[in-house]
């Protein structure tokens, strides 16, 4: 065994089959020992993890990094730091930047800027040129850079024939198309969930049907083409039900849900604070319950943050005019833990936040086209890359917007406290977060 | 409105608050009938109107009310202001407040904008003069004031003697584009707070998507509902908010939901017709019906000044405690 450079001591290892008390020794970028008790050699760095869970580093399928174009809201570096503090060792950058990631040059720039950050940065490419929904983006060329997920996120591909063509064209590229499900005709002008609260508050609503009609359409297109479809930020009971039935049918579909859709409801909009404006919008109690049920029964494969930074001046506007979106990277695991731990064991929660999203984004193995990227999503065992998230279920996470690593402050959880806290994050053997403090 | 600093929603007032506004407005209506309809009550106070949406009557009404109370009035014309140069609402409001403004009267196309402004100001009072589809509190208050005035006139008593008991079990029918109407939302809150029964009548596409929690009934047959109504509140079809596309045509809307002359014959003899204005004659109301004595639109406009004087007085001068005394007028 090579001499360990880092030892995580006293924790419980989260493996696919369950929990094992064990210290973890790391040499260089890899795990070299997992054992009941490991004596750290002198000179090795030691991370105390008594009472903590040592799981695979988290993988976020849905991060808005705002670079290029909106660097006042977030940069790749600050977003990656927020990710590391949230226990993430890999994030997928969404393509709705300015310019969008619809060409190899932009994708290459984002990938290059991500190298050396405190979390690995993969990119999702746009399905259509300019995310405008009219012509296919160069999917094959982007796939050649190691892009495995494509989406026009921020908008859905409105034209069903174009989406069908994209699914046909993508065959053989080894990529997955991901849809932001929103029928723009049904959602036009909407600023919150359409229902009892929107009616009372006089805010134009976005009906659940705006999401569900596109979920239903793309399930039909997956059936038609055989192409895999990943459904982004599922927020309604109807959507969860559609995905459940599509999976029962054996269609190649996957789905994610955001922490805010597991916890918050449209009632929060009553004070007209745009920090609660997000798209898809915060929904009703029964939708929140359905999202949680979908996460518990395997209908929804991943928790994904939809981390969407906005500079204060853009968010501090009249509700109808403010852009949608909320921060999520630094609160995702504590919220998932609080909501899901009454129903699911730690290995299932880490599956939803690490193993399964890594598989959906095809980040579980190294890829020569993605320089500097390691295998993500575990398992925590000898021979694996040391991408780890050390989580303390007994600690608490108190959300102070000014203390977040993001450049923006638009967290809907200001002042709230969640059970559990990310204590350490290890990226390729480097402790990038120690005791909830970023090391660089 | 007990200890209420702002008027953002009718819900801020409660029945006692509404009762107090009506009481104080009654005294100011008396002032208005004088040869010099002006009192020194708010001398030295500065009131600013910030209208981010077109308006003539509401803005004029507020400014007249403030002037009759001897307040100084600043009127921010958005079209020629720093807003056009990209200044945010928040900065505009903070700039205005820094000039020592005592009250900000705001109209905005985004629901909740007055609530946000109320969070941003340090000492100014905020009055909602209409926010998106949400509320238009002073309109609902002046509607109640006008209805009570008519009821009192018929009884031969002073409106104040009726108190708010005259609203108990009053049947109010609100007809038209409730979905996009801030007047309707404020009226529902005001009338139901006072004990009236409210029924909404509109084609399905012009009703709010959900009426969960609304203490109202919905009439599917306008003709039947009209016969039962003591008060009919007609709403304008807000074509500028896109509600034109919510019905096949104005003609079909008028045929089904307009107060045509023939339909007006179904009204009870005592029924009162209100309209927040501007009326579109021939669409929601026939011209002949608009000119009937039972249609009190011009009274509403006149009363708007007294009601807004009452709001300004109660927020800036007096206190909304249920015992407000109108200042002796010379």
- What is the full DSSP assignment across A385-400? B--EEEEEEEEEEE--
DSSP 8-state code for residue A136 = B
Is B89–A318 a contact, with Cβ atoms under 8 angstroms apart?
Answer: yes
- Residues B182, A202: C-beta atoms closer than 8 Å: yes
Task: Give chain A's domains with CATH numbers.
Answer: 6-54+378-438 (2.30.40.10), 57-360 (3.20.20.140)
Cβ within 8 Å, pair B210-A195: yes
Would you call A316 and B88 a contact, using CB atoms and an 8 Å cutoff?
Answer: yes
pLDDT in tens, chain A (440 residues): 899 999 999 999 998 778 999 999 999 999 999 999 999 999 999 999 999 999 999 999 999 999 999 999 999 999 999 999 999 999 999 999 999 999 999 999 999 999 999 999 999 999 999 999 999 999 999 999 999 999 999 999 999 999 999 999 999 999 999 999 999 999 999 999 999 999 999 999 999 999 999 999 999 999 999 999 999 999 999 999 999 999 999 999 999 999 999 999 999 999 999 999 999 999 999 999 999 999 999 999 999 999 999 999 999 999 999 999 999 999 999 999 999 999 999 999 999 999 999 999 999 999 999 888 999 999 999 999 999 999 999 999 999 999 999 999 999 999 999 999 999 999 999 999 999 999 99
The interface predicted TM-score (ipTM) is: 0.93
- CA nearest to A317 within chain B: B89
Residue A401 C-alpha, separation from nearest chain B C-alpha, in angstroms: 18
| Tens digit of each residue's pLDDT (9 = 90 or more) over B181-193 | 999 999 999 999 9
The whole-angstrom separation of Cα B191 and Cα B173 is 11
Tokens of B35: 């040869």
Q: Do B115 and A198 touch (CB under 8 A)?
A: no
Give the C-alpha separation, A229 to A218, whole Å.
7
| Most B CBs within 10 Å, among A319, A321, A322, A323, to test the B interface | A319
What is the C-alpha separation between A417 and A398, in angstroms, rounded?
A: 4
Give yes or no for A201 touching B (CB within 8 A): yes
Please count the other Cβ atoms lying within 10 Å of the Cβ belonging to residue A68: 17
- Closest-CA residue of A relative to B206 is A199
DSSP code at position B133: T
Please say if A168 is a catalytic residue: no
Which among A94, A95, A101, A103 is positioned nearest to A141, based on CA atoms? A103
Tokens of B227: 């016969």
How far apart (Å, rounded) are the C-alpha atoms in residues B131 and A377?
49
pTM of the model: 0.95
Query: At how many degrees (to 10) do helices A237-248 and A285-296 cross?
Result: 30
Distance CA B51, CA B63 (A): 12
Residue A270, chain B, CB below 8 Å: the answer is no
Two structure tokens written together for A220: 């039909």
So what's the pLDDT on residue A93?
A: 98
**Among candidates B304, B7, B277, which has minimal Cα distance to B137?**
B7
- The fold of the B10-135+301-317 domain, in CATH, is Rossmann fold (3.40.50)
Residue B243 has what pLDDT? Answer: 62
Contacts of A189 in chain B (CB under 8 A): 242
Tell me the shortest Cα–Cα distance from A59 to chain B, in angstroms.
37
Contacts of A202 in chain B (CB under 8 A): 111-112, 131-135, 182, 185
- Summarised one tens digit per residue, pLDDT across range B32-51 is 888 898 999 999 999 999 99
Task: Report the chain A residue with the minimal C-alpha distance to residue B92.
Answer: A317
The reply to whether residue B133 touches residue A316, judged by beta carbons under 8 angstroms, is no
CB atoms within 10 A of CB A389: 30
The fold adopted by the segment(s) B138-299 is Rossmann fold (3.40.50)
Closest CA to A209 of B209, B181, B179, B208: B209
* Closest residue to B132, CB basis, from A195, A202, A313: A202
Contacts of B183 in chain A (CB under 8 A): none
The Cβ of residue B301 has, within 10 Å, a number of other Cβ atoms equal to 16
Does residue B237 register a pLDDT over 90? Answer: no
Between the alpha carbon of residue A420 and those of residues A201, A218, B54, the distances in Å are 35, 37, 52
Determine, for residues A194 and B208 on separate chains, whether the beta-carbon distance falls below 8 Å.
no
pLDDT level of residue B307 (50, 70, 90 thresholds): very high
With pLDDT > 70 as the criterion, what percentage of chain B qualifies? 92
CB contact under 8 Å between B135 and A198, yes or no, is no
Identity of the residue in B133, B209, B242 whose CB atom sits nearest the CB atom of A195: B209
Residues of chain B with CATH 3.40.50.1370: 10-135+301-317, 138-299
Question: Which member of A306, A316, A392, A400 is catalytic?
Answer: A306
* Interface contact B88-A320, CB threshold 8 A: no
pLDDT, residue B317, reads: 84
Best mutation target, A193, A200, A267, to test chain B (most B CBs within 10 A): A200
Tell me the mean pLDDT in the region B77-105: 85
Give me the pLDDT at residue B220, please.
Answer: 86
- A·B CB contacts under 8 A: 71
Q: How far B127 CA lies from chain A's nearest CA (Å)?
A: 16
CB-closest option in A271, A273, A319 to B110: A319
Query: How many Å lie between the alpha carbon of A273 and the closest alpha carbon of chain B?
Result: 7
């Amino acid at each position: 065994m090579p001499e360990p450079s880092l030892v995580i001591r006293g924790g419980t290892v989260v493996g696919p089959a369950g929990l094992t008390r064990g210290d973890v020794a790391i040499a260089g970028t890899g795990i070299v020992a997992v054992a009941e008790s490991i004596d750290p050699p002198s000179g090795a760095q030691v991370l105390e993890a008594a009472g903590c869970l040592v799981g695979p580093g988290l993988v976020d399928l849905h991060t808005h990094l705002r670079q290029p174009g909106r660097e006042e809201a977030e940069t790749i570096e600050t977003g990656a730091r927020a990710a590391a503090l949230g226990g993430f060792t890999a994030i997928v950058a969404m393509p709705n930047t300015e310019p969008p990631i619809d060409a190899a040059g932009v994708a290459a720039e984002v990938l290059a800027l991500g190298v050396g950050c405190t979390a690995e940065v993969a990119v999702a490419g746009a399905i259509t040129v300019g995310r405008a929904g009219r012509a296919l983006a160069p999917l094959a060329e982007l796939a050649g850079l190691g892009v495995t997920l494509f989406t026009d996120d921020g908008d859905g591909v409105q034209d069903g024939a174009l989406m069908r063509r994209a699914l046909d064209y993508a065959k053989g590229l080894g990529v997955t198309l991901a849809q932001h499900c929103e029928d723009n005709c049904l959602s036009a002008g909407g600023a919150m969930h359409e229902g009892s609260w929107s009616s009372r508050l006089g805010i134009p609503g976005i009906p659940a049907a705006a999401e569900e009609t596109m979920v239903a359409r793309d399930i039909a297109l997956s059936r038609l083409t055989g192409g895999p479809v990943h459904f982004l930020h599922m927020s309604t009971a109807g959507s969860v039900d559609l995905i459940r039935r599509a999976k029962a049918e054996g269609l190649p579909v996957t789905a994610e849900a955001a922490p805010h859709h597991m916890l918050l409801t449209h009632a929060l909009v009553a004070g007209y604070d745009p920090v609660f404006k997000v798209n898809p919008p915060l929904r009703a109690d029964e939708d929140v319950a359905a999202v949680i049920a979908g996460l518990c029964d395997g209908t929804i494969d991943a928790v994904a943050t939809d981390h969407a930074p906005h500079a204060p001046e853009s968010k501090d506007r009249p509700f109808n005019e403010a852009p949608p979106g909320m921060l999520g990277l630094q609160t995702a695991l504590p919220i998932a833990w609080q909501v899901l731990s009454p129903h699911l064991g730690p290995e299932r929660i880490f599956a939803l936040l690490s193993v399964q999203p890594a598989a959906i984004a095809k980040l579980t193995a190294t890829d020569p086209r993605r320089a500097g990227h390691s295998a993500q999503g575990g398992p925590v065992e000898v021979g694996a890359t040391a991408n780890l998230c050390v989580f303390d279920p007994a600690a608490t996470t108190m959300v102070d917007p000014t203390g977040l690593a993001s450049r923006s402050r638009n967290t809907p959880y200001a002042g709230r406290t969640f059970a559990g806290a990310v204590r350490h994050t290890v990226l390729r053997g480097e402790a990038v977060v120690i005791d909830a403090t970023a090391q660089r | 409105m007990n200890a209420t600093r702002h008027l953002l929603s009718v819900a801020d007032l409660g029945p006692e608050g509404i009762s107090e506004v009506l009481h104080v407005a009654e005294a100011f209506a008396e002032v208005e009938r004088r040869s010099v309809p002006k009192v020194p009550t708010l001398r030295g106070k500065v009131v600013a109107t910030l209208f981010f949406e077109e308006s003539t009557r509401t803005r004029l009404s507020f400014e007249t009310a403030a002037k009759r109370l001897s307040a100084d009035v600043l009127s921010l014309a958005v079209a020629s202001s720093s807003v056009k140069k990209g200044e945010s609402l928040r900065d505009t409001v903070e700039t205005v407040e820094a000039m020592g403004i005592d009250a900000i009267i705001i109209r905005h196309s985004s629901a909740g904008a007055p609530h946000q402004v109320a969070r941003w100001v340090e000492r100014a009072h905020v009055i909602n003069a209409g926010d998106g589809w949400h509320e238009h509190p002073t309109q609902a208050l002046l509607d109640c004031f006008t209805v009570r005035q008519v009821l009192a006139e018929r009884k031969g008593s002073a409106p104040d003697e009726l108190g708010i008991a005259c609203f108990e079990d009053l049947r109010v029918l609100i007809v038209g584009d409730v979905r996009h109407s801030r007047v309707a939302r404020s009226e529902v809150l005001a009338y139901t707070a006072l004990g009236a029964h409210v029924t909404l009548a509109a084609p399905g596409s012009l009703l709010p998507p959900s009426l969960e929690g609304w203490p109202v009934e919905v009439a599917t047959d306008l003709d039947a509902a009209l016969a039962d109504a003591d008060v009919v509140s007609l709403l304008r079809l807000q074509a500028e908010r896109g509600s034109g596309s919510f019905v096949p045509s104005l003609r079909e809307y008028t045929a089904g939901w307009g107060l045509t002359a023939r339909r007006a014959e179904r009204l009870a003899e005592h029924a009162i017709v209100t309209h927040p204005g501007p009326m579109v004659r021939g669409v929601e109301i026939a011209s002949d019906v608009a000119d009937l004595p039972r249609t009190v639109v011009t009274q509403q406009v006149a009363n708007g000044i007294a009601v807004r004087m009452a709001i300004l007085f109660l927020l800036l001068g007096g206190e909304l405690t249920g015992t407000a005394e109108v200042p002796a007028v010379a």
